Structure formats: structure tokens, C-alpha cells
Structure 1
Amino acid sequence: MADTLAAAYDARLAAGEIRPDPAQKRGLEALVRLEADLAQAQPSSRLKALFRKPESQRGVYLAGPVGRGKSMLMDLFFETAPAEKKRRTHFHVFMGEIHRLIDAWRKGDAAARKARFGQAKGDDPIPPVADVVADQARLLCFDEFQVTDIADAMILGRLFEALFARGVTLVATSNRLPDELYKDGINRQLFLPFIDLLKSKVEVVEIAGPHDYRLDRLRAAGTWFSPNDPDNQRSFDRLWTEMLGGEEETGGELEVLGRRVTLPRAAGGMVRASFASLCSVALGPNDYLALAERFHTVFLEDVPKLTPSRREEARRFVLLIDALYEGRTRLIVLAEAEPQTLYPQGDGAFEFERTASRLQEMRSADWLADR
């Protein structure tokens, strides 16, 4: 059974679905090793499983740029992994659940705690929360592992120490190496013990090959779709589906200065949003900067031709594009017109020329490759 993952990968190679990639092979080898470790750790009988304390295996942390096949490898591993209880999700979704569990423990009375957690005593929410998570899954596979929120950073060390102690094994993909997590974050020194713990519990493998497979799709399809007619709408939808690669839209949230910005159509590091949802509501620079930090690819649809009466929306659009530009974010747009004719006259129309220039640059092959 320990060679199931390798066989699944070879089958994809033979079918032409993927092509040989030395960087991916290193990640594959690490996951094949973990597959064997998990198989060996399985109790030989149900009776032994009742009395044997589960042990955490040395997991795998796949780090590297966008589009190198990290998620594909993890998904293949997850499908074949010999673990009875396993879960694959995006890291930000998982952390949202953790915060809700912590809140439920702190606010619940004894009866509510007993119903939710099977226990009621104590002031520390981490042990009962870890019990719930470990009971649901002994193998956790996280896509898009990243830490930007101080609330996440301050609980990760104790949470994962508790999870590892309960026999949970971790597999994760990330655009950042462990030492780069929560970089420049507030009180980062308090986060460093978690980094040390993480590196002691996973094998870190860099998948940083020269080929970006998502970039191939963007180059082939283009990133600016106008006018906003049925043909371009279908092309925009098709590209979004291809870029998802079968992933589910789990949605996302940004927390900005105590406020929450909800983004229903998000999956990992990609988000799809309308012009109205980002520029026709009271959002500002901090919101757009948080968006650029959280997502590497933004699909922006239904961008209208702007008139002088919509100068506030034009101003917000300028701020949005500035944030995405500075964040080196990939931008795919469905619009009524080309960038240079989106806002031809009105307050700020002269300044909008710089935005149009940036939009042209952001659709270029060099920009896409650089990101």
C-alpha cells in the first residue's frame, strides 16, 4: 500500500496530465516516505487500536512559489494516505473554525461545553479544542499555510503542541518557508517557538522549479476580458474554473482594523469578486492592502465604464489597483472596456491615466511571470 501515491503520480504522467518535474519529485519522495510511515503506524487489529496511543508522524511541508504543483501533490497524497481519519482544507478555513471553537468554550456554560466538547471543566480552551480536532482527524492536510493575523500567531504554538501530543500528523503547502511565516508581524518573537516546533515535526521540501503551471493557463487565455458580453463572460468563468483545478470555493474573510470583510468566492490564494462588492461600498486602502496580502490572484468582474457621477467608485478602484500593483498580485478582469477608456472624464480622470497604465502592465507576460 505504501507505493499507492507513486503509482497514482506515475499514472498521471503516463496520461499526459502532468509532465516530469524534478522539483515535484522531491516533494513526491517525501510524501511517499510519510505514506509508508503512516501505514507502518497503523494498529494491526481493532483491539490494539483501542489501547494504543496514536503517535504523530513526521509530516511534510511543501514550500514554493505559486503554480508549481504543491497542491496537486498534496491532493494525490490525501487521496491515497492510509489514515482512517483525515482532513484536507485551506488553512484560513481551519483557523476560522478554531477561533469559533475557542469562543464557544469561553462563552459556554457547563451544559453547552459538555454538549460541544464532551467536557466542561477548566479555563484554558486549547486542550478541549485540540481534543475536538484530533478526534475528527489524525492527518491534517492544509493548503495555503500562511500566518498574517496576530490572533492566529498567538495561539498556533500551544494549539499545535497539543495536536502533535494527541497524535496528529501535518502536511501543508505554503508560499513561504517556515522561517518566513508571520514575517514582520507584531510581537513576532512570541511566534518563533512555533516555527521551531513546526520544523521539528515536518520535513520541509522546497518545490521551486522554473515552471509555473497556472501561468500557462493565464498566458493562453489572457487576463483582460472586454467587452462584458456573453462570450467573454463564458471565457472568464472557464478560466476561473480551470485555475481552481477542482478546488472548492470555501470563501474567505479579511479582518481590518476590527472589521471583517467577507469574500464568498475564495479558494486558497485566489478570490473572485465583483467591482460593486469592492468599489461601490465603503472600503479603503487598508482593506485593499489586506486583500493583496491575503490573495495572490484576484478575479475582478463586472467593471463598468465610469462616469463623472461615479467618481467615488473610480477613486476606490484606483486605490484597489494601487494595492494589487504594489502587492505584485495577478489580476484577471471582466470589464466593459479597455483600461484606457474606463474613466475618460470626471474628477480624477487625469490621475486615472496612471491606473490605466498599471492595468496594461499587469496584463503583460512579464508581469505574470514576475509574480
Structure 2
Amino acid sequence: MHGSSDVGHLVDRHPSVTPERLIAQLVPPPTFADVSFDTYRPDPGEPSQAAAVQTCRQFTEQAVARRAGKKKMFGKREVLPGVGVYLDGGFGVGKTHLLASSYYAVGESSDYKRAFATFGELTQLAGVFGFMECIDLLSDYVLLCIDEFELDDPGNTTLISRLLSALVERGVSVAATSNTLPEQLGEGRFAAQDFLREINTLASMFTTVRIEGPDYRHRDLPPAPEPPGDDEVARWASEVDGATLDDFDALCAHLATMHPSRYLTLIEGISEVFITGVHPIDDQNVALRLVSLTDRLYDAGIPVIASGAKLDTIFSEEMLAGGFRKKYLRATSRLLALTAAGQAGRTIT
């Protein structure tokens, strides 16, 4: 790409998000724009993966049938309550791929509306529109997909559980994946019970699908690469159109000035992100904001190049031992994948 010495900075961007934009964002991320059940490659050594594809296929057929309803006398139709599927498993086993495939399997037409949101986007939606308005907004949808249902915030979990109960009654089917609670992190298998307990009013409608297997991002992933120097990062940034260059601490401070729902707009139109002075973080709030930004960058497929500490050392051992372990490990995995993409073809001098 042609370069420009006048490199932009994420810290100079101050995005706002309209309600209309929030609705328009309720689609699978760009990384999963072209997926389907047919493009999911089950690991032959993990039969649960092929079984999960079948269950999700059946679920989407049921979702459409329930929205269509059953015929009553005089030809009117009565909408049936929605159904639910919960995909339980570690990260990198393809849960989001299957979730997005379910979204696409329910074909979009005037009769078949569907939405795909992270748990955070859904709580943001309820905050912007209000609880009842949010129900009205989504009540004629066939399917609501929720990626990374968060069980670590009781208030939000209760809110979304109530929202889902109301939507299911109105014929909306729900597919979800989730993160696990702190106590079960070593095991992971108990995520399903936690999820069902938290949404106990809905538990009976959810079919739980356990997907086993190693993180596919780690199947061939080398250890974190040696970071380039600050000057090298700045030089590379100046050679790429649409790139941004930011100091790590300044960027972290900037992220604190806005709700994570704006991070998608923050990185809109950016080709590559360059960061200098990366170092380990010990503040949980800073770390969680960085996780949110990483998810947005990963979803958009935007490469990252960073100087300073290696990217697999950002989250301290103490933090990895805490309640958000799964989020931090997922973010590290994604950062390494984005860095591998960024450093491909570049030589550190």
C-alpha cells in the first residue's frame, strides 16, 4: 500500500452510535459473514462437533416452524413459543461459526427477521431503547443469536433473562453461546448448568449442545512473535493507507471515555492498527476494555502490530487466575492471530 507520513490515531476518533446504527449492527461479524453449516469443518477426532451441526440444523428448522405457527379454525395461525439451543464448549471449537450459520440458515425475508448480538450489545440495546421497547422491537423476529452470554454480571443476566422470556413467549427462538463462571473455569463443563440456572425461567426450552475440542486457533499457532521496536512500528504505520498509530497507555485511556458498544465505530474504515509501548496490565477495567476492542478488531479482521511486551504477557498470571480467565485467554489467542496476520511479509530489522 502507498504510505503517508500523516498517520491517523484512534485516540482522535470520538464515535457516537445512533439507535438505528445499533439495530443495523445486529448481524454476524465480518469474520463470519460467509459461514454456513457446510463450511464448518468438524474435527474427525471430536464426534461432538459433527453432532452439534446436526442439532443446530434441526433447531433452525424448528425456529422457522414455530414462527409460522399452527393453523387454528378459520385459517388463522397461532404463533408457538420459541425454542432454544445453547452451545457449550471452550473457545476456538467453532461455537460462533455455528451460531452465525444458524443465523444465515433462517433465510432473511420480510417474514423472517433475525438478529445476531453479543451479550454486551443486547444489554446496550435494552439500555438505549428501554426494556418494553426492546421487546416490541424484537418480538416479530424468528431468531435471536447471542454470542458470549455473560454470567458474571447478575444484574445484566437477570435483565436479559426477563427479556428472553418475553420474546420466547412471542415466538422468538434463541441460540446462545456463553462464557463460564469463575468457579468452573478449570472444568468448563459446568457452564451449561450455570447458564440454565441463570435463565431458570427459560431452562426447559434450551437444548444444551456440548462441543469438545482444542482451540482451532492454537492448532498451528506459534508462540508470540518477537515484537518490533517503536521506530519500526511507526515507520510501518506510515507506509500503510488507512492505518492508525497509538501509544498503548493513551489508547487504553481513550477506550475508557466511551461505552464498548462504540468500539466497532471507532475502528471503522481502518486497515491496520499499530500500537507502541505495550506492557502488562494490572487493572481489570482496562483489561476488559482491551478485550472488547480485541474482539471488534478480530471480528473485522484488522491486523495488529505492536511494540513493547509480547502480546501473550499483557494479562498477568493473577488476572488469568481470576473470574475473567476465559475472556483473557480468548483475547490473547485472537491478538496472536491478528499479529501473525500483521507481521506476515514484514521483516523485523
Unpaired segments ≥5 residues, structure 1: 1-7, 103-125, 182-190, 238-254, 306-317, 335-371
> What is the TM-score normalised by the length of structure 1?
0.52
Query: What CA distance in whole angstroms lies between the structure 2 residues aligned with 1:320 and 1:47?
Result: 58
Query: What CA distance in whole angstroms lies between the structure 2 residues aligned with 1:302 and 1:41?
Result: 49
Cα drift, residue 215 of structure 1: 1.2
Higher relative helix content = 1
Partner SS for 1:224? coil
CA contact (8 A) 1:86 1:139 kept: yes
CA contact (8 A) 1:35 1:82 kept: no
Cα drift, residue 52 of structure 1: 2.6
CA contact (8 A) 1:147 1:153 kept: yes
Q: Indicate which of 158, 162, 169 corresponds to 1:158.
A: 162
1:223 and 2:224 aligned: yes
Partner SS for 2:91? coil
Alignment of 1:309-324 (within 5 A): 321-322=316-317, 324=319
Query: What CA distance in whole angstroms lies between the structure 2 residues aligned with 1:51 and 1:278?
Result: 62
Q: Larger C-alpha radius of gyration, 1 or 2?
A: 1
CA contact (8 A) 2:139 2:172 kept: yes
Cα drift, residue 300 of structure 1: 7.2
The one-letter code matched in structure 2 to 1:86 is: R
Cα drift, residue 141 of structure 1: 1.1
Partner SS for 1:203? strand
CA contact (8 A) 2:260 2:289 kept: no
Q: Indicate which of 148, 151, 154 corresponds to 1:147.
A: 151
Closer, same or farther in 2 for the Cα pair 1:26/1:325, shift >3 Å?
same
Alignment of 1:1-371 (within 5 A): 9=37, 11-12=38-39, 19-20=43-44, 21-41=46-66, 43=68, 51-81=76-106, 84-102=112-130, 126-135=131-140, 137-176=141-180, 177-181=191-195, 192=197, 194-209=198-213, 211-219=214-222, 222-228=223-229, 229=232, 264=263, 285-288=283-286, 290=288, 301-304=305-308, 321-322=316-317, 324-326=319-321, 327=325, 329-330=328-329, 331=332, 332=335
CA contact (8 A) 1:179 1:195 kept: no
Query: What CA distance in whole angstroms lies between the structure 1 residues aligned with 2:116 and 2:261?
Result: 22
Cα drift, residue 180 of structure 1: 2.6
Counterpart of 2:17 in structure 1 is none
The one-letter code matched in structure 2 to 1:159 is: L
Cα drift, residue 29 of structure 1: 2.3
Closer, same or farther in 2 for the Cα pair 1:286/1:36, shift >3 Å?
closer
Higher relative contact order structure (alpha carbons within 8 Å, sequence separation ≥ 6): 2
CA contact (8 A) 1:285 1:319 kept: no
Query: What CA distance in whole angstroms lies between the structure 1 residues aligned with 2:225 and 2:134?
Result: 45
Cα drift, residue 22 of structure 1: 0.9
Cα drift, residue 146 of structure 1: 1.6
Q: Say what the alpha-carbon RMSD is for the aligned residues.
A: 4.8
Any runs of at least 4 consecutive aligned residues in structure 1 with deviations exceeding 6 A, and if so which? Answer: 44-48, 276-280, 292-300
Partner SS for 1:214? helix
> What is the TM-score normalised by the length of structure 2?
0.55
Partner SS for 2:200? helix
Closer, same or farther in 2 for the Cα pair 1:151/1:100, shift >3 Å?
farther
CA contact (8 A) 1:288 1:324 kept: no
Query: What CA distance in whole angstroms lies between the structure 1 residues aligned with 2:151 and 2:290?
Result: 14
Unpaired segments ≥5 residues, structure 2: 1-35, 181-190, 241-254, 340-349
Partner SS for 1:196? coil
Seq. identity, %: 19
Residues 160-212 of structure 1: per-residue CA shift (max 9 Å, x gap): 2211121111011224324335xxxxxxxxx95x5212321210111123x32
Cα drift, residue 325 of structure 1: 4.2
Closer, same or farther in 2 for the Cα pair 1:195/1:319, shift >3 Å?
same
Counterpart of 1:367 in structure 2 is none
Cα drift, residue 42 of structure 1: 5.6
Partner SS for 2:212? coil
Query: What CA distance in whole angstroms lies between the structure 1 residues aligned with 2:116 and 2:210?
Result: 20
